[in-house]
Amino acid sequence: MKELEFSKYISKKFKARKPVIKGIGDDCAILEYTKTRYMLLTCDMIIEGTHFSGKATPFQIGWKAVAVNISDIAAMGGIPRYALVSAGIPRNRGTRFLKEITRGIETISRKFNILVIGGDTNTSRKIVINVTLIGEVEKNCVIRRDGARIGDLIFVTGCLGEGRVKHLKFLPRLKEARILAKNFKINSMIDLSDGLSMDLNRLAEAAKVGARVYKSLIPLSDASEALDKAIFAGEDFELLFTASIRESKKLIKRMGRKEDLPITLIGEIVDRRFGVQLIEEEGKIRPLKPKGFAHL
């Protein structure tokens, strides 16, 4: 059973009920919190050999473990607050190695004003770090992945195809997400952890819509060797989001005034019967299958 199928399976097994507003199936769970704010909860695990190689420094491992969770909070338009960190470390790793992982966790947590408040440690055959991140978001700012509507335009932050070279040191798009959440009506958003094709299919499936992206519009990084790698490779940790045409005009106008919102228009939301499609330069249409970074 692969990741998408497994996610659907467990979402049917564990139904959300009050005070849960949204459970399984988004970047974060959403819970009732105060009269004006929701609580956000997410947890992401990184594993040696799957999410980083033996070439990764312990500082980078600690940094990434927290960064991937901040990216989830960003995708909901929220603010991260508290972290619980659990680590499984092989016995042959020394004290210096552990301190460097801790320094990576501390550095990024301090940068984003996150308090580490607990966790667990154990021995394991490979390095495994799981972070549970607790955040909050104003009720009028929360963004879910199931809100895309037919006619929405699709945008992405930054450039794609850099995951292979930046995934151990990337800076989560929290600032950009907050600008979007506070100043615009964003209908849906997801973080690009598993590749454009995989995560666009997730967004479309959540909203029961189709999507069409244009090959010529996809922003490629200098590090990307080929478009297919930029589309199907994961670990970019950019934000993919949709907005109505009216709101998109406001976005584009804002981009002309300030340089704090590096976004690119890449497509549009269409009727579900069209599925998720990639439009080639010569107009050829091909299905964009949900292939990308595989966790299972």
Q: What is the pLDDT of residue 81?
A: 98
Q: How far apart are CA 69 and CA 172, in angstroms?
A: 9
The residues that bridge with 263 in the sheet, in sequence order, are: 157
Position 294 scores a pLDDT of: 57
Q: What is the pLDDT of residue 221?
A: 77
Q: What is the pLDDT of residue 1?
A: 47
What local confidence, expressed as pLDDT, does residue 59 receive?
Answer: 97
Residues of the chain with CATH 3.30.1330.10: 3-138
Span(s) in the chain for CATH 3.90.650.10: 153-287
Cβ contacts of residue 157 below 8 Å, gap of 6+? 173, 176, 238, 239, 261, 262, 263, 264
Q: Write the class of the CATH domain 3-138.
A: alpha beta
Give the N- to C-terminal CA distance of the chain in Å, as an integer.
8
Is residue 105 within 8 Å of residue 116, measured between CB atoms?
yes
Matching CATH number, 153-287, of 3.90.650.10, 3.40.30.10, 3.40.50.150, 3.10.150.10: 3.90.650.10
Q: Tokens 């990741």 correspond to what residue?
A: 3
Biggest CA-to-CA distance, the chain = 58
Q: Give Cα 270 to chain centroid, integer Å.
A: 22
Give the helix/strand (H/E) hosting 175. helix 174-183
Strand residues in the chain grouped as ranges (E)? 20-22, 29-32, 37-47, 79-89, 115-123, 128-138, 153-157, 188-192, 210-214, 238-243, 263-270, 276-279, 285-287
What does the alpha-carbon distance between residue 101 and residue 131 come to, in Å, rounded to a whole number? 13
Contacts of 270 (CB under 8 A, 6+ apart): 150, 209, 210, 211, 212, 277
Residue-by-residue pLDDT tens, the chain, 296 positions: 477 777 778 887 888 888 999 999 999 999 999 999 999 999 999 999 989 988 899 999 999 999 999 999 999 999 999 999 999 999 999 899 999 999 999 999 999 999 999 999 999 999 999 999 999 999 999 999 999 999 999 999 999 988 878 899 999 999 999 999 999 999 999 999 999 999 999 999 999 999 999 999 999 877 665 677 778 878 999 999 999 999 999 999 988 787 889 999 999 999 999 999 999 988 899 999 887 665 54
Q: Is the peptide bond before 19 cis (omega within 30 degrees of 0)?
A: yes
Residue pair 294/2 in contact (Cβ under 8 Å)? The answer is: yes
pTM equals 0.94
Q: What is d(CA 148, CA 120) in angstroms, rounded to the nearest whole number?
A: 38
Tokens found for residue 45? 């695990």
